[in-house]
Structure 1
Amino acid sequence: MSHLLSLTRAAKLVGATRVELQKKMKSGELVAFDGMVAVKDLLACYPAAQLEDTAEYRRVTQIKERAFAKRVFERILPDAEVLATRLTDLSKRLTQSESQVGRFNALLGKIWDKFRETENRSSGETAATLSVLRHWLEHEVEQAMEPGFTNPLEIKDGVLSVLSAQVTLLPSKQDFLVEGQATLLEAALRAGVSLNYGCSGGNCGLCKGRVVSGQVRKTRHHDFPLTRAEQERGVVLLCSNTAVSDVVIEAAVTDGVQDIPFQQISASLKSRANLNDEVVLLHLQTPRSQRLRFLAGQRVTLKVGASFTAELPIASCPCDDRNLLFHVHRQAGNLFSDYVFDKLKNNETVEVEGPQGEFILHEQSGRPLFFIVLDGGFAPIKSLIEHAMSLEA
C-alpha cells in the first residue's frame, strides 16, 4: 500500500483545507483508510499538484531571493540541531532503503542461479516450463526496476518532513504541524488546539505532556522542576520543547470554560486606532511570561486610569494569546469610555481580569454556523470566526 498521510499533512501538501478533504472523502472522491489517505490517491484527486506549488518550497525560495532578515529564517526554518537531526533521520531511511535494494538484488541473483541449476538437472517438459517461468520472472523484475513515474507529492512530503513535524495528541486524537522554531504549545495554539497551559513561560507546569512516541528537544529554559519519575515516563513541558520528529503526545485539551482559570494580568497598550468616529480599536499586549488563556467568544474586565472599568468581549483569536484586541464604543459620560478616547496613551498599563462567558464555539458540531450581531457588537463574532478559521471549521 502507498504511504499513508494524515489529513493535516495531506492538506498541507496539496494546498487545501482539512474540511475540503473531508468532503471529498465523504463523497467518495478521495479514498480514506481509517482517516488517513494514500499519496497515490491524493495525487489522483489533485492531479495538478506539483512540487513547485508547495508552500514550503515557495517560502524558502522567497527567503533566498529577498535575503530576508534572520528572524524570518527563524520563523520558517527549524533550529539548526533539529534540522540536522531530521536530515540525519532522512539519510538513515535512504541508506536503509538502498541497503534493502542491494539485498533484494543479491537475492534475485541467487534465485536465478537456483532456477538455472534446477533447469540443468531437469529434462523434457519440466526443464522447458522452468525456463519459460525464469524468463517471465526476469522480464517482470526488469520492468519493475525501470525508473517510473515519480509522485510529486512524495517529494513534497519529504520536504515537509524536514521543515516540520506532525504532533498527534492523545486521547483527543487532534493533530497539528510544528513549523519553524515554534514550541509544541505555540504550534498547538496557532492551529486552534486548546491545550491546557498557564504561564507559557516554564514556571507553572500546567502544560505537562507525556511523549508516547517520537523525539522532542528542549529549546527553552524552564524553572518548573520535573521529578525523576516524570522524566523517566517521558513527561515534558510543552512550552519549552519542540518536535524533532513526528510525535505522539498524551496531553490534556480544554473541554470548556470550566477548564479556564481566572487570571489577573497587567498588560500594556501597544496601539490604538479609530475604526470610525464612535469606535476605537485597542491592541493590548501581555508580558511574555503571563499570557491570557481564554476561549473565543469570552470577555474580560479592563481597568484603566485610577479605577475606570468595563467588561468587554475579546475581539481576537486565542491562537495569539499575547496580543489582545478590543472594540471600545464612545459613550458620553461613561468614565471608562472618556478615558480611553481622551487620555489613554501607548505603553500605558491596562489591567485585565477574566475571562468570563460561555458564548464559545462548539468545535465538535458539524452543523452550519450562523452569527447574528446585536448589542454585544462584532468583537466576539470576530474572535469566534478567527478561531474557526484556525481550526479550518
Structure 2
Amino acid sequence: MAQWISLGRAAQLLGVPRGVLQQRVRAGELALSDGLIRTDALLRLYPQARPEDDRLREQALPGREVLARRLFRQSQDLADAQRHLQRYHALVIALRDELRRLDDEAGGADARLRALLHRLGEGLARVLATEAVDALDAMDDMLEVVSAQVTLRPSGHRFLVEGHDTLLQAGMRAGLQLNYGCGDGSCGMCKLRVTAGEVARTQHTDYALSEAEKGQGYVLACAHTAASAELTLEALEAGGPDDIPPQQLVAQVRALRPLAPDTLLLHLQTPPSRRLRFLAGQSLTLALPPRGQDKGEVEEAQALHPIASCPCDDRNLHFYIPRDAGDAVAARLFAGEIAVGDSITLWGPSGRFTLAEEDARPLVFAACDTAFAPVKSLIEHALSLDDSTSISLFWLATRADGHFQANQCRAWSQALDSFECTLSSHDDAAIGAAQMAAAMRADLFDIDCAYYIAGPRAFVDTLVQALAAAGVPAAQRHTQITP
C-alpha cells in the first residue's frame, strides 16, 4: 500500500538531491500534498528503487541508546497500529454478522441488504489479501531507525541526522546557519526548543538550563541528537553577516604546504571548545606573534585573508596564501618562520560576499588567481544545501601556477551533472575578465543567474560592467575585491 513521505526523506531514499524532486514537482511530474509525496508516484518515476539498496546498508548507525529508543518508538507505533487494526477488524466483523442476521430475518428478499453484504465481503477479502511490498515504504522503515528527519521552525528548513551526529553537527553539515558558540555545551548559545518528537542527550554539558526552560522543551543542540524518526525544532538561524558575532580565538597550524610555487595552503584548527562561526565567503584577520625586540619587530603581523573552506567544518579552516611582499603574514609564512603546531590569532569574520540562499537562480562564480578561496567556500556551501541549482565556475589565472586547485574543479565536474568549470589564462586581469565575459555571454547572459565575482579590482570591474551592459540587475551581482 502506498504511503506518504516527506520530500527530504524521498530524496534520501532515492539518492537524488532534494532539488531534483522539487523540479519534478514544478514540472507536474510529482504531486505534493502538505509537503508529502506518495511512494507509488515515486516508484513510477524511479522503478529501480529497491529496499536492499547498498546506500541503506552503508548508513552509519547511531549510538546504542539512540538506536534502542528509535526501535522502541517504532515498536510502539507498530503496536498502536496493530491495536487499531484489531479494533477496526472486530468492528467490521460485528457489522457483517449483524447484516447477515438482518438478511436472514428478511429471508434474503432485501436486494440492497444483499448488495451491501456482498460489497463488505469483497472489501474484507481485498484487505486481508497479501499485497506486494512497497519498496520505498520498506526502505523508509529502515531509515527511520538509522536516521531522523528534522524540521526547523519558523524557517521550514529540513535536514537529516545520521550516525552519531548531534543536532548541531547535522544542521551544519546540511549548510544551515544555526546559532551556536562553543560547540561543547559550555556557552548555551545553541539552545533550541523541541516542539515535536524526542531527543537524546549525547554528552555532559557545563551549561545548565533552568527548570522552566527544561519544562518548555529547551535543549542544547550540541549535546543532543534525535531519538525519534521525525523531530520539529524551534531555532534561531543566521540570516546574513549581521547575525554572525565578532570573534577572537587562537588556532593552531595543522598544515602548511605549497600548492604552487607562489601559493601556500594554510590549514588552521580551532580548539574543540572555541569553534569559529562564519558564513561561506567571509574573511578572517590572521595575526602572527611579533618576532621580538632583537629582530626589530614589536608589533604582530596582521593580514586579512578569505576563508577557503566550508562552514560545515568550523574547526578546520583553510586559506590560500599568495606570495606577496606587501603582506606581512604571507612574507613570514613563505620565509618558513611559522611551523606546524604554532599558534595564530584569528579575528572576525568579516565581509558580505555570502550566498543569497533564498535565491533559486543558477549560480555563476568567477574568480581570479587566489580569489578562488572565497569562491570555493561558497561552492562547497552551495553543494551542502543539496539543491539542484546549476553551478558554473570561471577561473582566470594571471600567472603560470594560477590554477593551483584545477584537480578540485575537475573532480566537481566529473561528480556533478549540474557543475561546469571553465579555466582560462591571461597575464592581464582586465583582458582576461573581458574574455571571460565573452564566454559567459555565449552561454549564460540569456539565463537569469546570480553572479559571484572575486578578484582584483580590474578583474571585478570589467566583469561587472559587462554584466550591467547585458542587463543583469545589481542585486544579482555579488563582488569581492581582493589584493
Asked if the contact 1:54–1:156 (Cα under 8 Å) also holds between the matched residues in 2, the reply is no
Q: Report the secondary structure of 1:130's partner residue.
A: helix
Which 10-residue stretch deviates more, 18-27 or 238-247?
Answer: 238-247
| Equivalence for 2:219 | 236
Q: Pick from 179, 184, 188: which aligns with 2:171?
A: 188
Structure 1 residues 279-318: aligned runs within 5 Å: 279-306=263-290, 307-318=300-311
Question: Whole-Å Cα distance in 1 between the matches of residues 327 and 122 of structure 2?
Answer: 88
Deviation at 1:375, TM superposition (A): 6.3
User: Alpha-carbon deviations, 1:47-83, whole Å to 9, x = none?
Assistant: 11111225222x15xxxxxxxxxxxxxxx22121111
Shift of 1:303: 1.7
Letter in 2 for 1:116: R
| 8 A Cα contact 2:196 2:233, kept in partner | yes
SS at match of 2:109: helix
Match of 2:254 in 1: 270
Residue in 1 that maps onto 2:63: 79
Q: Distance between the aligned counterparts of 1:136 and 1:149, measured in 2?
A: 23
Show the counterpart of 1:344: 338
**One of 96, 121, 128 as aligned partner of 2:80:** 96
Asked if the contact 2:303/2:327 (under 8 Å) is kept, the reply is no
The answer on 1:384 being equivalent to 2:368 is no
* Aligned partner letter, 1:346: V
Contact 2:303 2:328 in 1 (8 A): no
Cα 1:129–1:321 change in 2 (3 A) is same
Tell me if the contact between 2:306 and 2:373 (Cα under 8 Å) persists in the aligned partners.
Answer: yes
The residue type paired with residue 149 of structure 1 is A
CA distance in structure 2 between the aligned counterparts of 1:363 and 1:300, rounded to whole angstroms: 22
**2:21 aligns to what?**
21
TM superposition score normalised by structure 2: 0.75
Deviation at 1:205, TM superposition (A): 1.4
Q: Which amino acid aligns with 2:374?
A: P
Shift of 1:317: 0.3
Contact 2:321 2:370 in 1 (8 A): no
**1:225 counterpart = 2:208:** yes
TM-superposed CA distance for 1:267, in Å, is 0.6
> Greater shift after overlay, 235-244 or 24-33?
235-244
Q: How far apart, in 1, do the equivalents of 2:26 and 2:326 lie?
A: 56
**Distance in 2, Cα, partners of 1:105 & 1:334:** 79
The 10-residue stretch of structure 1 (356-365 or 344-353) with the greater mean CA deviation from structure 2: 344-353
**Cα offset for 1:110?**
1.6
TM-aligned CA distance change 1:139 to 1:7, over 3 Å: closer
Paired residue secondary structure (2:352): coil
CA pair 136-8 structure 1, distance change in 2 beyond 3 A = closer
The structural deviation recorded for 1:325 is 0.4
Q: 2:137 aligns with which of 142, 147, 154?
A: 154
Offset, 1:229? 1.4
Q: Which residue of 1 aligns with 2:35?
A: 35
Q: Is residue 323 from structure 1 mapped to residue 316 from structure 2 by the alignment? A: yes
SS of the aligned residue for 2:364 comes to coil
In the alignment, which residue of structure 1 is the partner of 2:6? 6
Q: Which residue of 2 aligns with 1:335?
A: 328
Q: Cα distance, 1:332 vs. partner? A: 4.0
The 2-side partners of 1:259 and 1:90 are apart by 39
Q: Which moved more, 1:306-315 or 1:321-330?
A: 306-315
Q: Measure the CA separation in 2 of the matches of 1:140 and 1:6.
A: 29
| Percent of residue pairs identical | 44
- 1:10 CA drift (Å): 1.1
Contact 2:322 2:370 in 1 (8 A): no
User: Against the structure 1 CA distance between its residues 354 and 139, is the aligned structure 2 distance closer, same or farther, given a 3 Å change threshold?
Assistant: same
Structure 1: distance between partners of 2:326 and 2:282: 26
Aligned match of 1:49:
49
Report the CA distance between 1:35 and its aligned residue.
2.6
**Closer/same/farther in 2, CA of residues 113 and 381 from structure 1, 3 Å limit:** same
Counterpart code for 2:77: R
Which one has more relative contact order, counting CA pairs under 8 Å at least 6 apart?
1
**DSSP-derived class of the 1:362 partner:** coil
Q: Is the 8 A contact 2:281 2:374 kept in 1?
A: yes
The separation in 2 between residues aligned to 1:223 and 1:164, in whole angstroms, is: 27
Question: How far apart are the structure 1 equivalents of 2:243 and 2:264?
Answer: 31
SS in 2 for 1:226: coil
Deviations, residues 133-167 of structure 1 (Å, cap 9, x unaligned): 42342133212321112111111111111011111
Matched, 1:362 2:356: yes
| 1:252 and 2:236 matched | yes
Q: Give aligned pairs, total.
A: 376
CA positional deviation for 1:316: 0.3
Give the alignment partner of residue 108 of structure 1, picking from 92, 102, 108.
Answer: 92
Q: Which amino acid aligns with 2:380?
A: E
1:271 is displaced (CA, Å) by 1.3
- Using a 3 Å threshold, how does the CA distance of structure 1 residues 291 and 150 change in structure 2: closer, same or farther? same
Tell me if the contact between 1:305 and 1:339 (Cα under 8 Å) persists in the aligned partners: no
Query: 1:176 deviation in Å?
Result: 0.6
Worse-matched range after superposition: 275-284 or 33-42: 33-42
Stretches of 4+ aligned residues off by more than 4 angstroms:
none
Q: Which moved more, 1:249-258 or 1:327-336?
A: 327-336
- Which amino acid is the alignment partner of residue 304 of structure 1? L
Distance 1:25 1:343 in 2: 57
Partner AA of 2:262 in structure 1: E
- Distance in 2 (alpha carbons) for counterparts of 1:234 and 1:278: 53
